[in-house]
Structure 1
Amino acid sequence: MHTHTHTRYQQHCTMSSTLCLLLAVLVATTTAELTDECLYCMCYASSNGCVMPDPTCRNDGWGELCGPWAITEPYWEDGGHLLGDYYKCTKDWECNEKTVRHYMEKYVKDPTATCEKYARTHVGGPWGSDADYTLEYWWEVEDCLDHGLYTRPTTTTPHRTTTAPTNEGY
């Protein structure tokens, strides 16, 4: 009887250790989700209201920024070089959004990442997300979140305003 109890105890310990190991692996491979609110407030801060800029690209002195999330060509490449053409992608709402989502999936691996981490990575890159120069951008995103300025992106044409596509596809 004593041996049977000891064997059951060993089985329980082995099973508990296995579950703990699986849980640790799961946590280590899980990343925080980039919420729509955060993503669209990043767009809001990047394009003064989350609108498709006209013209689509502008030069800020550091280089060319295109689309409603103000992405650069290297950012687009890291985000999966969708549609195979930087300028074509930056003129397309869904491609812009997917590029940002892919970029974030690639570089933000912290399972406890907050919107601040995503926003500062967006503007500072994977190695500049803690730099002081990213704070002003984060404060604009935070202001959008705090004051309910979050809206789904819209495209404006002379005749109508339409909601941009959702994040499905690609």
Structure 2
Amino acid sequence: MFKIFAIGLLFAMIMASFAQINDKCLQCICKTESGCRPLGCAFDVNSDSCGYYQLKQLYWVDCGKPGGSLAACSKDKACSEKCVRAYMTRYASRCTGGRTPTCQDYARIHNGGPNGCKIAATAGYWNKIAPCYNSG
């Protein structure tokens, strides 16, 4: 039984290592969301969106509640990036069916939640990110 658990844990750790958003993709999301500025919280689609990455309360909870509060974390670029990276590590493989996630997958998850890359409406968000990501 322990061997099965150990193998499962190892597999999960390997999958998590593949689900790492790269710095360029992260920066393109930041530029699109806020111009990479620590914007204050403002109401947007059913709840407040805050900071560099326009994080919402549930997103912040799902990323592990870094920084003590959504407002505090969203104003700190390092904390916000930690949150986005944790969120992507948690959800990217769910959305991709086991293949290595692309920036498009990450962007659509960021915009549409854990299953965002399967939601047609998030394709428009990717179209905002793509020129930045695909530039030299």
Aligned residue in 2 for 1:18: none
**CA deviation map 1:107-153 (0-9, x unaligned):** 112441100011101111112321111111111111111235xxxxx
Gaps of 5+ in 1: 1-21, 149-170
| Percentage of pairs with the same residue | 37
TM-score, length basis structure 1 = 0.65
Moved more, 30-39 or 98-107: 30-39
Q: In 1, distance between residues paired with 2:105 and 2:32?
A: 15
Aligned residue in 1 for 2:65: 81
**CA deviation map 1:59-115 (0-9, x unaligned):** 124211001101101100001101221111111111111000000011112441100
CA RMSD of aligned residues (A): 2.1
Amino acid at match of 2:33: S
- Which structure shows the bigger proportion of residues in helix conformation? 2
Larger CA Rg, structure 1 vs 2: 1
Amino acid at match of 1:113: P
Quick one: which of 14, 17, 38 aligns to 1:29? 14
Aligned residue in 2 for 1:101: 85
Q: Say whether the 8 Å CA contact 1:32–1:111 is kept in structure 2.
A: no
SS of the equivalent of 1:64 reads strand
CA 1:28–1:67 in structure 2 vs 1: closer, same or farther (change >3 Å)? closer
Aligned residue in 1 for 2:4: none
Shift of 1:32: 3.7
Aligned residue in 2 for 1:8: none
Matched, 1:133 2:133: no
Aligned residue in 2 for 1:70: 54
Quick one: which of 64, 82, 102 aligns to 1:114? 102
Q: In 1, distance between residues paired with 2:12 and 2:69?
A: 36
